[in-house]
């Protein structure tokens, strides 16, 4: 009986920890992966490094961003798809697009 009364609080603590910490993180990861999967040309995005750009090309794991225009030429950079942090819609940062 003492064993059961000692184990039940431990099981409850683990359960609460799972529901408060692990489940929300898993949802956030799934939402971010969905956002990355649905990126398309013309989307405005922000990288994890804080660079704002517009997607002009997509490869398997690479996103080509137009970040500026200098003397009528576009400045483009290649970024890992996984490093896109946000999509910008109507001037607001959207963390994960459903």
Task: Please check whether residue 64 is in contact with residue 76, taking contact to mean a CB–CB distance below 8 angstroms.
Answer: yes
Whole-prediction pTM: 0.73
pLDDT in tens, the chain (98 residues): 677 888 898 899 999 988 888 898 999 999 999 999 999 999 999 999 999 999 999 998 999 999 999 999 999 999 999 999 999 987 777 766 44
- Given this model, what pLDDT does residue 69 score? 93
Query: How far apart (Å, rounded) are the C-alpha atoms in residues 84 and 80?
Result: 7
- Given this model, what pLDDT does residue 98 score? 42
- Given this model, what pLDDT does residue 92 score? 74
Domain spans, the chain: 2-94
Given strand 84-89, what is the order of strands in its sheet?
A: 73-80, 62-70, 52-58, 44-47, 84-89, 92-94
């Amino acid at each position: 009986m003492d064993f059961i009364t000692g184990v039940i609080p431990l099981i409850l603590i683990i359960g609460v920890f799972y529901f408060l910490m692990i489940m929300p993180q898993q949802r956030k990861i799934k939402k971010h992966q969905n956002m990355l999967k649905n990126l398309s040309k013309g989307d405005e995005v922000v990288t994890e490094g804080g660079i704002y750009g517009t997607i002009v090309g997509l490869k398997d794991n690479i996103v080509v961003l137009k970040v500026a225009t200098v003397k009528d030429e576009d400045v483009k950079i290649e970024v890992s798809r996984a490093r896109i942090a946000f999509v910008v819609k109507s001037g607001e940062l959207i963390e994960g697009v459903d």
